[in-house]
Amino acid sequence: MTTQSGPTSPPPRCSACSLSQFCLPVGIPQNELTRLDQLVAERIRLKKGDALYLYGDPLRAIFGVRFGSLKSYIDSEDGREQVVGLHIQGELLGLDAIADERHASTAVALEDSEVCVVRFAELEKLSAQVPSLQRQLHRLLSLEIRNDHRMLLSLGTMRAEQRLAVFLLNLSERLSMRGYAANEFVLRMSREEIGSYLGLTLETVSRLFSRLQQSGVLSIKQRRLKVTDPDALRHLAGESCQAPAISRPR
């Protein structure tokens, strides 16, 4: 009930995966991909609520989301939980475990999901042999750092409404890149989980949704969200939505 469930699916193949443009295979020539296929020999199915790994578990593998979604979180001593990642199709998780070969967070499925198991020791070995794989692994590690910095910017400088707007737009973009509707999707996290992710309470999140619905920016029923005025949402998120200009130090 606590840990992962489900049997292994038929052997997956990165070379044939429709998510390869988001995941590890990016930039790897077809003939090298077969070597990655051999490495990723297993998938794990998770039911909603199942844990993929727990804080402290030894690192055996990192994981790519095949379908569904997961959250990862860490706990403070006093039992509060900080969601540090929301992982959807084609995204990797478990990267924070590489440092000392133990998972530094806990990952739980937000819905029935399936992940590909990338045994890490072998991935490292292969990435030393396949430059394009090495490149992509580094890219993904760096991207994670960058995203975390963006979250720090949210939590550090933005008011509640702006944080939520930024979060929704980011999610919207990631979903639409994967072929889903940009303005109509299902939130897989509860108000409490969203709050944890954004450094807010569940009540504040709920109130914000109500208010944004009231003002016609979006409509939300349970976790079904429709963005009715994307421009307004972008405006709330901070206008330009582009990369900030070069800054002047000092």
Partner DNA sequence: CGTCGCTTTGAGACTCGTCAATTAGCGTGG
Partner DNA sequence: CCACGCTAATTGACGAGTCTCAAAGCGACG
Whether residue 35 contacts residue 15, with contact meaning beta carbons closer than 8 Å, is answered with: no
Q: Which does 160 bind (CB under 5 to 8 A by kind): DNA, its own copies, none?
A: DNA
Among 11, 152, 203, 211, binds its own copies (CB under 8 A): 152
**Smallest separation, CB 159 to DNA (Å):** 3
Task: Work out whether 196 is an interface residue with its own copies (CB under 8 A).
Answer: yes
Task: Work out whether 177 is an interface residue with DNA (CB under 7 A).
Answer: no
CA distance 92 to 89: 9
CA distance 163 to 22: 25
- Contact region with DNA (CB under 7 A), list: 16-24, 134-142, 159-167, 238-246: 159-167
Which residues make Cβ contacts (< 8 Å) with residue 48, sequence separation at least 6?
A: 109, 110, 111, 112, 113
Q: In this structure, what DSSP letter does residue 15 have? A: G
CA separation, residue 106 to residues 73, 78, 153 (Å): 5, 16, 23
Site string for its own copies, 10-39 (x = CB under 8 A): ------------------------------
CA distance 13 to 16: 6
Site string for DNA, 201-230 (x = CB under 7 A): xxxxxxx-xx---------xxxx-------
Among 200, 225, 233, 237, binds DNA (CB under 7 A): 200
Task: Work out whether 58 is an interface residue with its own copies (CB under 8 A).
Answer: no
Phi, psi of 90 (to 5 degrees): 85, 0
Among 12, 65, 87, 96, binds its own copies (CB under 8 A): 96
Of the candidates 187, 190, 167, 200, the one whose C-alpha atom is nearest the C-alpha of residue 82 is 200
Place of tokens 């994670």: 144
Please give the residue ranges that form the binding site for DNA (CB under 7 A): 159-161, 190-192, 195, 199-207, 209-210, 220-223
Please give the residue ranges that form the binding site for its own copies (CB under 8 A): 2, 49-51, 54-56, 73-78, 80-82, 84, 95-100, 104-106, 108, 124, 127-129, 131, 134-135, 138-146, 148-153, 155-158, 196-199, 238-240, 242-250
